Structure 1
Amino acid sequence: MFPRAARALAHLLAGLVTGPASFVWAVLTTLACGLLSFTYLGPPVFLAVTWVSRWIARLERWRAGWVLRRVIADPYGPVTGTNLWARGRSVIREPGTWRDLAWLLAGFPVGLVTGVVGVVAGVVELGVLLAPAWLWAVPNPRLYPVADWLFNTVGGRFTMSLAGLVALWPVLWLVAAVARVQASIAARLLDAGPRARLRQQVSALRETRLRVVDAQAAELQRIERDLHDGAQARIVAAGMTLALADRKLRAAGLAEDPARADVMSARRQLDDALAELRRLVRGIYPPILTDRGLVAALTALAGDAPLTVVVEASDLGELPAAVESAAYFVVAEALANTVKHAAADECVVTVRRSGDVLALAVRDDGRGGADPSGSGLDGLRRRVEALDGTMEVTSPPGGPTTVRAEFPCAS
């Protein structure tokens, strides 16, 4: 009880100082921002004032959390915008900005009332407990008989101390309760509201999901590298060994020996296994993506297609591995569908990056009529949406068919 009461009393004393200072700051800065809002100084001054106000609010959250014994999280969302005006509008639309202002204004009267009650109760209780140590130095002859006996006699002073001991628990409870009231009001205003908490949870889930996607992409790269450098190299070595064995059999005049036929059959099987392994590796994570990037991978994909494919791409910069992989497979699946179903003569693949958004489009001159809800396109859509991207398929009867996808690619 004593540590909690001491914490509460310290909180109330601090509130008597921070409350008036915060109130004066809020009033002056609100007037200043209002007067400057019609000038070019408005946005930078408002952002600077808001930055300071948020630090004051964080201090108040810490004080309230210190009393309530819990963490009070910041309610702010990210400040967006490419210029001061846009960032200022983002801060104005943030509910936490106005909740901070409300507490900076309300903290003074709330802190004054609760602080005076708690501090006076604590000081009076401490004075009563220590009455024998100090009351003799301030005699007062103009007291009623009972008060005169309590204040001016040794027995009366020790009786006051005894009464103070009896009242100690209720007074400590009162001080702690008053401090909790002040801290609870601060927490109600400064804590994240339901919308802010939901937004924070969504943001945390999104970051967790993106980390899982990145980890999956890294794992696929590792599997591809292990297959490429391990199993594939061993299959190639085994094929070379069989080729040497075949050469030795022919040099020994055993060209018609049944054993040579078995060696040749084993070589063909190894070649088929190697080709299948390479298709598997390209399906997991194409090595060219790691070696040369997305544009080179799409160019190689276009070169292998049985129709004319034109790749139009600008400088894409560095892209996350998961985004590169998803974009590659969107184009690969779109080209495969074009070859199988569209009867097209030409296909144009356009890839552009604008800021933190990668946009690609695959357009063919085929007969159209593609089903956007088909299993292949639906699987691609889910892969794109897993990265917070969007995918749209437009394929009217008679064509053309266009597959568009956008990926956020901020690091």
Structure 2
Amino acid sequence: MGSIGPVLLRTVKALAYLVSGLAAGVAGLVWGVLGTLVTAVLSVTQLGAPAFLGAAWVTRRLAGLERRRAGWVLGAPIGSPYVPVRGHSLRQRVLATAAQPATWRDLAWLIALFPLGLAGGVAAVVVTAVDLGAILAPLWLWAVPNPHAPFPARPLMTTVPGRFALVVLGLAMLPAAAWLVRRLAGLVAAAARALLAPGLHRRLVEETERLAATRRRVVDAQAAELRRIERDLHDGAQARIVAAGMTLALAARKLRSSADIGADIGSARRQLDEALAELRRLVRGIHPPILTDRGLPAAIAALAGDSPLDVTVAGDAGDRYPAAVESAAYFVVAEGLANAAKHAGAGRCTITLARARDVVRVSVADDGRGGADPAGSGLDGLRRRVEALDGTLIIDSPPGGPTVLHAEFPCAS
């Protein structure tokens, strides 16, 4: 019984789809012809543009109903194929609407629905009526006897054993009739999906918009990174070097008047050493030299060695990836380790680096207290860096931990 229920439900939906297709086909044909004629007649007047937009609006609403109706058979409504219509003037909106293939495919389906709906609906009604008529033969043949039936049907229709034989025959043919109804509905719904589903135009528009948004985010991230570098150099290393120069200048003056200049010289040397160390950190923040020299696995191993956490690294030590992928993956690991050590209170961290066909996967998991904010400046900047390469970054950090950063990058072989 558990398997009969879903099959029965699908059969009922398929029958409803085919029967309702009779009315939908007539309505679609009437509107398709009427709307086309009215728009064609008014196209030579100033009402042509409003008439076209109005006809397109109605056609889209009828096509939307067809998408939902096809969902009875397909299991889910067909997605919308339209792209936003942009334009301030009436002419621009007309051209944008007419340029969409979905506008004309909607009209084509409303016209094609008439023969498809008529054929499918009539076939479904006939098959259902014949099979149910055989199953209910003892009732309706008793109420409406037919003693003049032709010979092959007379024993079945005029005798009690014959009528119950019709019941057995109808029950035996019920699975085949239900299958035929579902099959017919599936064919009509597949034709609807072929014309009404989002096509190449919609996918290209969405991909273009996504690439444009990604490019803007990359430009913004690059500008912000350059501003950060300029600020760090100005406020950090530059100030230390200036201070070291002033200290050395004072030491030079004292050299003429005092022999005790060792403390000043030592202070100057320490300041220069600190400035050099800070410049090296800035260079590593832009692009670590170890990435160029030894690749991503070695750079991750270096990060793990410098981390105060107990870090385990899993991955192929000899694998190399494109430079952009290595740089982005390196900063994913660096940000994950820094957050685990500074904010999460973690003691252990596991870094996994793997490549499956054309996808490079990097994950950083710690045993800290979690609660990382994906919208924070560090993680948001990291997400932008990953998305600039058409990658994805997933941040899973429930309160109480653990925190997992998982990044995937497309990487052609």
Q: TM class, shorter-chain normalised?
A: 0.5 to 0.7
Deviations 1:197-247 (A, max 9, x none): 1x3333333334344434445555665676678787666897899899999
How far 1:176 moved relative to its partner? 1.9
Which of residues 145, 161, 165 is equivalent to 1:159? 165
| Distance of aligned partners of 1:38 and 1:181 in 2 relative to their CA distance in 1, 3 Å threshold | same
Corresponding residue for residue 264 of structure 1:
268
CA distance in 1, matches of 2:105, 2:203: 20
Question: What pairs up with 1:131-170 in 2 under 5 angstroms?
Answer: 131-144=137-150, 147-170=153-176
Q: Is the 8 A contact 1:243 1:267 kept in 2?
A: no
1:23 has 2:29 as partner = yes
What is the percentage of aligned positions where both structures have the same residue?
Answer: 37
Q: Sort the Cα spacing of 1:166 and 1:25 in 2 relative to 1 into closer, same or farther, 3 A.
A: same
1:40 aligns with 2:46: yes
CA distance in 2, matches of 1:167, 1:244: 102
271-280 or 60-69: bigger deviation: 271-280
Structure 1, unmatched stretches of 5+, are 285-385, 387-411
Q: 1:12 and 2:18 equivalent?
A: yes
Partner of 2:57: 51
Partner secondary structure for residue 46 of structure 2:
coil
Amino acid corresponding to residue 119 of structure 1 in structure 2: V
- The answer to whether residue 85 in structure 2 is matched with residue 79 in structure 1 is yes
Cα pair 1:254 1:260 within 8 Å, conserved: no
Q: Deviations over 1:75-128 (max 9, x none)?
A: 444434431123213323333222222221221122112210112111221222
Structure-2 change in CA distance of 1:94 and 1:207 (3 Å)? closer
Q: State the TM-score, normalizing by the size of structure 2.
A: 0.55
Q: 1:247 to 1:89 in 2, by over 3 A?
A: closer
Give the superposition deviation at 1:139: 2.4
Alignment of 1:364-403 (within 5 A): none
What is the aligned partner in structure 2 of residue 201 from structure 1?
A: 203
Aligned residue among 213, 218, 230 for 2:215:
213
Say which of 177, 180, 192 aligns to 1:174.
Answer: 180
> How many Å apart are 1:280 and its aligned residue?
11
Q: Residue by residue, what CA displacement relative to the aligned partner does 1:19-58 show, whole Å, maximum 9, x if unpaired? A: 1111111222212111211222211121121012012112
Contact 2:15 / 2:185 at 8 angstroms: preserved in 1?
yes
Match of 1:103 among 90, 109, 123: 109
Question: For 2:125, which of 119, 122, 143 is the aligned residue?
Answer: 119
How many residues were matched structurally?
279
Q: Is the CA contact 1:239–1:267 (under 8 Å) kept in the aligned structure 2?
A: yes
In the alignment, structure 1 residue 129 sits paired with structure 2 residue 112: no
Shift in alpha-carbon separation, 1:51–1:280, aligned structure 2, 3 A: farther
Cα distance, 1:132–1:206 mapped onto 2, change above 3 Å: same
| Structure 2: runs of 5+ lacking an equivalent | 1-6, 288-387, 389-413
Question: What whole-Å deviation, never above 9, does each CA across 1:329-349 have from its counterpart, x for those lacking one?
Answer: xxxxxxxxxxxxxxxxxxxxx
Distance 1:135 1:238, change over 3 A: farther
CA distance in 1, matches of 2:233, 2:259: 30
Deviation of residue 11 (structure 1)? 0.8
Deviates more, 1:36-45 or 1:261-270: 261-270
Residue type matched to 1:203 in 2? V
Q: Is the 8 A contact 2:29 2:110 kept in 1?
A: yes
Cα distance in 1 between the residues matched to 2:259 and 2:126: 111
Counterpart-to-counterpart distance in 2, 1:148 and 1:14: 35
**1:228–1:62 distance in 2 versus 1, CA, 3 Å:** same
Q: Distance in 2 between matches of 1:107 and 1:98?
A: 14
Q: Is the 8 A contact 2:248 2:265 kept in 1?
A: no
Q: Work out the CA distance in 2 between the residues paired with 1:164 and 1:228.
A: 85
Measure the CA separation in 2 of the matches of 1:231 and 1:74.
Answer: 51
Question: d(CA) in 2 for partners of 1:51 and 1:268?
Answer: 72
Deviations 1:339-374 (A, max 9, x none): xxxxxxxxxxxxxxxxxxxxxxxxxxxxxxxxxxxx
TM superposition shift of 1:167: 1.3
What CA deviation, in whole Å up to 9, does each residue of 1:162-188 have, x standing for no partner? 001221222122222222332233333
Question: What is the rounded CA distance, in whole Å, between the counterparts of 1:136 and 1:255 in structure 2?
Answer: 133
Task: Give the Cα separation in 2 of the matches to 1:161 and 1:64.
Answer: 33
Q: Give yes or no for contact 1:121–1:171 (8 Å, CA) kept in 2.
A: yes
Provide the rounded CA distance (Å) in 2 between the counterparts of 1:115 and 1:89.
37
